[in-house]
């Protein structure tokens, strides 16, 4: 099931004529991001929960894109559905479908494939007539075959070679030359000369050469396009994560409004499970906030009156009332999106090897063909012969092998990496990966599994049983983390009168004494959370994070390759130091904001470092975009995966160093392909200049060099 959905953008709110706002009763579609789903079981569980919500007409989950598309009545909001999914243990974020409109289709790829098919089909048919002519057909039969070939070739070339014509014309209009200018010139001249010879009953007809040239070059362009198609704008994904509506308080009444209609100093409410729609300050209520994706903090953060919240944070527990302080471009999420846009612009200045070669090669081809034409005109004085030889030079020097050199290798390399669990999204990613000398890791969710576990070694068995009884009655994220850490064989104690004290913790009675589990300040403990049984001193529950599988071996292998490895994290100093110690004492910096990470990587780059960033959260998107190359795990948020060049599909980091070794191998194969193309030109060009090659033999030679390049590219596998 594709997650492509059509958002029915009818007015969500309407004026009743009395100055009040109400929902318009119509159908709407909701798109939710599900960053943590990983199997068919998750799909079934989520779809059943969503379809059970009153007002939901249909819900479908797409595992590959980690999204749910819900068709529902207007009375159902995204926040309602997010709360439902939170209740079954699945994180969800609302995506603005309008922001993503048009990013799901690949019209360019479809057109390239159609042109490739047309060129190939026409080429094969014309080759049949060429074989008949080579076999001895002459006079009227030969002329008839030429006319039929022209009837097939001309419309096929007009359509199939349009990709090169448009690109070449665009370059010429800017007063520049690119690879497509000599390609277009060779195709047009070969076809034009063939049409002229056909009308005159001549024999210099090379429709097959023009189509062969188009066919092989289109293969290269399509392969190149396929390596890039999965990349979409990370800034667009970030914007799509913003809440599309907010609950505003006006004269003591609630009204649901679009986020864009909010103004500074407006009073809004943020319900439990809802994403904060705008930057603001709490004026009423207290809760726990999930800031992991924004700041990298692994544990929920307690907030109360006077604390400031940023757009994009998730309210986990209590009802909050905020005074809006920043909206639109001034919000934290929009500032982060602006950083990503700036970083993407910097990365896009990286020029692929083939483009760099084209800057030198394209002008040389034109000069060579022109000199050949003038030389033969001087020697022979025959226009048709001189043009024929010049066309042969253009075709034989046509950068087909050069055009295939990079995409063929990259396609082979990406296929090998895919088998190892890596999805390469960017066409120049492997070229940049081959240059990496510094690797920066995010901590939470990248080096670690993202969920903190508790250390039970300091607790007696009966205390653990009491703890189990209390957390089983709570849905708080900390309670869930404690419950997940308690061994399955532990039987909950017989705790009665269990109650949840909002914003503080759980309380109950066990064997006639009071038992409490909650915030340290509530229990007179130094740190949170803590457990207190009767009159005993409160015992602090120590949290620990577990390393992601393969993290230690990956870091060790990278160090052995001579790479500099560091950790940049938004989490607290103690948590970061613990992980750095487990990884052999690699350098680490804690409590970094998204801007801090962006600035630090920018500074490293300015000092000549080639940085690979590996991260998974919203706080990493700008860093992922500004780094020389980037990788994010499949569990990362959509925005982080989009900002990265490569997505790690496997939960283990063990194979991560192989990305760098495969990239180095791929770059070596590319340089070998350039060498093959250069040797081919050194041999073939003099033959063409001396007049010993026809356009057809030139096309055959060009095809042979292309096949050689393709075979060499397969060595990467």
Catalytic residue numbers? 442
Alpha-carbon gap, residue 405 to 677, rounded angstroms: 8
Per-residue tokens: 467? 């703890």
- Using CA atoms, how far apart are residues 551 and 584, in angstroms rounded to an integer? 11
Tokens (6 digits) for 154: 């001309």
CA distance 288 to 300: 6
Please name every residue paired with 588 in a beta bridge, in sequence order, or none if there are none: 567
CB-based contacts of 334, cutoff 8 Å, min separation 6: 239, 242, 311, 328
Provide the sign of the torsion angle of the four alpha carbons 373, 378, 380, 383, taken in this order: positive
Please compute Rg for the chain using Cα positions: 32
Helix (H), strand (E), coil (C) string for 437-456:
CEEEECHHHHHEEEEEEECC
Which of 97, 102, 225, 101 has its CA nearest to residue 163?
225
C-alpha span between 425 and 569 (Å, rounded): 25
> How far, in Å, CA of 28 to CA of 8, rounded?
6
Encoding tokens for residue 584?
A: 């052999």
Query: Of 632, 680, 150, which is closest to residue 404 (Cα–Cα)?
Result: 680
What the block records as the tokens of 644 is 């990265």
- Angle ∠(488,489,495) on CA atoms, nearest 5: 90
Q: Which two tokens stand for residue 344?
A: 């993407």
Angstrom distance (rounded) from CA 202 to CA 375: 23
Sequence-separated (6 or more) residues with CB below 8 Å from residue 671: 353
Distance CA 324, CA 266 (A): 5
Instruction: Quickly list H helices, 545-629.
Output: 551-560, 573-582, 594-606, 621-626
Concatenate the DSSP letters of all residues of 77-93 into one string. -HHHHHHHHHHTT---E
CA dihedral angle for residue 127, residue 132, residue 135, residue 138, rounded to 10 degrees: -120
Cα–Cα distance measured from residue 563 to residue 558, given in angstroms and rounded to the nearest whole number: 6
Q: Residue 28: beta bridge partners?
A: 72
């Amino acid at each position: 099931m594709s997650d492509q959905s059509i958002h029915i953008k009818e007015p969500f709110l309407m004026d009743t004529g009395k100055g009040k706002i109400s929902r318009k009763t119509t159908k709407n579609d909701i798109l939710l991001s599900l960053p943590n789903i990983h199997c068919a079981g998750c799909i079934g569980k989520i779809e059943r929960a969503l379809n059970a919500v009153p007002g939901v007409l249909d819900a479908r989950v797409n595992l590959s894109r980690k999204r749910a598309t819900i068709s529902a009545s207007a009375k159902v909001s995204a926040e309602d559905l997010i709360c439902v999914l939170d209740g079954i243990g699945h994180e969800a974020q609302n995506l603005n479908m309008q922001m993503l409109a048009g990013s799901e289709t690949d019209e360019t790829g479809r057109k390239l494939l159609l042109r490739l098919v047309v060129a190939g089909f026409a080429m094969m048919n014309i080759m049949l007539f060429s074989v008949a002519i080579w076999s001895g057909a002459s006079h009227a039969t030969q002329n008839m075959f030429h006319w039929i070939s022209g009837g097939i070739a001309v419309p096929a070339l007009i359509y199939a070679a349009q990709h090169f014509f448009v690109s070449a014309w665009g370059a010429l209009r800017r007063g520049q030359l690119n690879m497509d200018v000599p390609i277009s010139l060779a195709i047009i001249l070969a076809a034009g000369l063939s049409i002229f010879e056909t009308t005159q009953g001549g024999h210099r007809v090379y429709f097959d050469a023009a189509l062969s040239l188009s066919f092989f070059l289109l293969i290269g362009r399509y392969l190149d396009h396929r390596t890039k198609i999965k990349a979409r704008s990370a800034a667009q994904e970030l914007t799509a994560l913003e809440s599309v509506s907010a609950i505003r308080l006006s004269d003591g009444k609630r009204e649901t409004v679009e986020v864009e209609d909010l103004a500074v100093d407006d009073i809004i409410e943020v319900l439990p499970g809802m994403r904060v729609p705008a930057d603001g300050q709490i004026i009423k209520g207290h809760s726990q906030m999930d800031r992991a994706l924004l700041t990298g903090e692994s544990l929920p953060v307690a907030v109360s009156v006077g604390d400031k919240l940023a757009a994009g944070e998730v309210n986990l527990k209590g009802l909050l009332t905020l005074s809006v302080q920043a909206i639109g471009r001034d919000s934290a999420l929009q500032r982060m999106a602006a950083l990503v846009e700036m970083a993407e612009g910097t990365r896009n200045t990286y020029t692929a090897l083939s483009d760099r070669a084209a800057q030198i090669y394209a002008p040389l081809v034109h000069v060579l063909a022109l000199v050949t034409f003038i030389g033969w005109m001087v020697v022979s004085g025959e226009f048709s012969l001189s043009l024929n030889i010049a066309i042969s030079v253009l075709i034989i020097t046509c950068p087909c092998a050069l055009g295939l050199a990079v995409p063929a290798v990259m396609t082979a390399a990406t296929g090998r990496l895919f088998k190892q669990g890596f999805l390469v999204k960017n066409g120049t990613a492997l070229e940049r990966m081959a240059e990496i000398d510094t690797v920066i890791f995010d901590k939470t969710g990248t080096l670690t599994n993202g969920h903190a576990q508790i250390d039970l070694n300091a607790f007696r068995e009966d205390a653990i049983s009491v703890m189990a009884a209390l957390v089983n009655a709570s849905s708080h994220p900390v309670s869930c983390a404690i419950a997940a850490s308690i061994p399955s064989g532990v039987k909950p104690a017989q705790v009665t009168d269990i109650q949840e004290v909002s914003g503080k913790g759980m309380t109950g009675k066990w064997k006639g004494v009071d038992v409490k589990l909650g915030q340290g300040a509530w229990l007179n403990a130094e740190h949170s959370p803590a457990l207190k049984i009767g009159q005993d001193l409160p015992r602090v529950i120590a949290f620990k994070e577990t390393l992601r599988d393969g993290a230690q071996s990956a870091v060790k292998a990278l160090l052995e390759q001579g790479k500099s490895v560091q950790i940049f994290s938004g989490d607290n100093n103690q948590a970061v130091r613990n992980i750095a110690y487990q990884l052999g004492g690699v350098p680490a910096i804690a409590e970094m904001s998204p801007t801090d990470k962006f600035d630090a990587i920018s500074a490293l780059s300015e000092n000549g470092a080639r940085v690979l960033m590996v991260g998974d959260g919203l706080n990493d998107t700008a860093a992922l975009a500004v780094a020389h190359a980037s990788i994010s795990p499949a569990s990362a948020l959509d925005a982080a995966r989009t900002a990265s060049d490569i997505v790690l599909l496997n939960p283990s980091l063990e194979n991560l160093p192989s990305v760098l070794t495969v990239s180095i191998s791929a770059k070596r194969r590319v340089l070998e392909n350039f060498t093959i193309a250069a040797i081919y030109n050194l041999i073939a060009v003099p033959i063409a200049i001396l007049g010993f090659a026809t356009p057809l033999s030139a096309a055959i030679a060009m095809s042979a060099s292309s096949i050689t390049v393709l075979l060499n590219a397969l060595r990467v596998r």
